[in-house]
A = this chain, B = another copy of it.
Amino acid sequence: MAKKVITFGEIMLRLAPEGYYRFVQANSFGATYGGGEANVAVSLANYGMDAAFVTKLPKHEIGQAAVNELRKYGVDTKDIARGGDRVGIYFLEKGASQRPSKVIYDRAHSAISEASPEDFDWAKIFEGADWFHFTGITPALNDTVAGICLEACKKAKELGLTVSCDLNYRNKLWSKAKAGEVMGELCKYVDVCIANEEDASDVFGIKAANTDVTTGTVNHEGYKDVAKQLADRFGFTKVAITLRESLSANDNNWSAMLYDGTDYYFSKKYKMHIVDRVGGGDSFGGGLIYACLNGYDAQSTIEFAVAASCLKHSIEGDMNMVSVDEVTKLAGGDGSGRVQR
C-alpha cells in the first residue's frame, strides 16, 4: 500500500503570457495552478503515492478550479478548507536568453493567508500519514499561518511522521531576520531539510564559501560545509542542497548534494535546455521524499531527486508530470532524448 504524504501551503492561480511574450504584449494568459507544497503533492501522486494537499480556498469557481487541478492528478483534496475571498495569483513572464523570467505576485489577502487555526484539524488530517512536508513560503505568509504551520509540525512529530521542509526563502514575503526567527523555531521539528544554494545564507546566515551563483561556479567543499552546519544546528537527519548554475534563461546546469549526517553524496550534473523553470525545486523535493519513503540508498536518492527535477525543467507549468519509470530511466543514464516509440 502506498505511503501517505501530507503537504500544507498555498496554491496560486498562475497567469502566464503565451510563449515568450512580455506582460505588456499579452492578450491572454495561460491559467494553471501551483505552489511549492501543492507541486510536491502532485509529484508524489504522479509517482503513485497517496498524497494530500491542505490549504484554504474560496468556494467560488476559481477556488474550485484549483481543487480540480489537484484532483485531476490524483491528489487528495478532502482536507482543503473552503472559504475566504480570493485565490492568490502570480503573473509569470517567461524569460529567454539574457532576459530573465519575471514574477509579479498578487497573493496578498488570499484565503489561506486569512485562514485561522480552526480551519485545520491536524490530528484528523494526519491519520494514517507517514510524512509531512511544507516550505518556507507558508510560514512567511503571516504570523497566523506560521502558527498553524508550527501546530502542524508539532502534531506531526507527536504522531511519528517524518517532517520535511524546503527553506525556499522569498524576500518579497518577509525579511531575512524574520525568516530566521520563524524558521528557526519550525526547524526544530524538521527531519529532512531541503535548500537551494542561497537559502541557507538568506534564512540562517550560513554561507557556502567561494560560490558566485551568477557566474555559475560551484564549490563542492562550501556546500558540504553548509549542509553540515545546518544539520548540526537543527539536528536534521538529512540535508539536501540543489546546485543551479544559471548560464542564461534557457540554459542551466543542475545537480544536488545529499548529506545524511555522515557522508556527502553528489549527483550527476545535467545540462538543461529549459522549457519551464518554475517548480524546479519543488520537483526535487517530491523526488527526494519519494526516494526516502521507498527505501532508496543515499546515492540513489539524490540521483532520483535530481533526475526528477531535471525532467521538470522540460515540462510546462509548476507541476512535475513524470512517472517513476521516466525518472529512473534518466537517473540510470539515458539522457539522449531519443524518441520512445
Residues of A within 8 A of B (CB): 15, 18-32, 60-62, 64-65, 68-69, 71-74, 85-86, 89, 91, 93, 95-106, 108-109, 170-172, 213-216, 246-251, 270-275, 277-278, 307, 310-311, 313-317, 321-322, 326, 330, 333-341
Q: Are A98 and B272 in contact (CB under 8 A)?
A: yes
Known: A97-B272, A97-B313, A99-B326. 6 other contacts (CB 8 A): A21-B316, A24-B61, A25-B321, A101-B337, A248-B336, A277-B339
A-B contact pairs, 28 of them (CB 8 A): A18-B28, A22-B321, A23-B61, A23-B64, A24-B61, A24-B64, A24-B321, A25-B316, A27-B27, A28-B30, A29-B31, A61-B93, A61-B104, A69-B72, A72-B72, A96-B337, A97-B272, A98-B270, A98-B337, A99-B330, A101-B339, A103-B339, A214-B336, A215-B336, A216-B336, A248-B273, A249-B337, A250-B273
CA distance A271 to B98 in the complex (A): 9
A201 CB to closest chain B CB (Å) equals: 15
Supposing A27-B30, A314-B97 touch, asked if A341 and B86 sit within 8 A by C-beta, the answer is no
* Nearest B residue (CB) for A101: B339
Other-chain contact of A98, B108, B314, B317, B339 (Cβ < 8 Å): B314
Q: Are B97 and A336 in contact (CB under 8 A)?
A: no
CA distance A60 to B97 in the complex (A): 22
Sorted from nearest, which 3 A-B pairs have the closest CB atoms? A249-B337, A23-B61, A72-B72
Supposing A30-B28, A101-B339 touch, asked if A91 and B62 sit within 8 A by C-beta, the answer is yes
A57 CB to closest chain B CB (Å) equals: 13
CA distance A89 to B248 in the complex (A): 33
A233 CB to closest chain B CB (Å) equals: 26
Total copies of the chain: 6
Q: A22, A24, A101, A270 — which one has the most chain B CB atoms within 10 A of its CB?
A: A24
Contacts of A95 in B (CB 8 A): 314, 337, 339
Q: Are A100 and B26 in contact (CB under 8 A)?
A: no
Supposing A249-B337, A251-B273, A273-B97 touch, asked if A72 and B68 sit within 8 A by C-beta, the answer is yes
* Nearest B residue (CB) for A244: B338
A168 CB to closest chain B CB (Å) equals: 11
Supposing A91-B62, A98-B335 touch, asked if A15 and B29 sit within 8 A by C-beta, the answer is yes
Other-chain contact of A315, B99, B172, B337 (Cβ < 8 Å): B99
Contacts of A273 in B (CB 8 A): 96-97, 248, 250-251
Q: Are A275 and B23 in contact (CB under 8 A)?
A: no
CA distance A104 to B99 in the complex (A): 29
Contacts of A20 in B (CB 8 A): 275, 314-316
Q: Are B26 and A28 in contact (CB under 8 A)?
A: no
CA distance A330 to B99 in the complex (A): 8
Q: Are B248 and A337 in contact (CB under 8 A)?
A: yes
A247 CB to closest chain B CB (Å) equals: 7
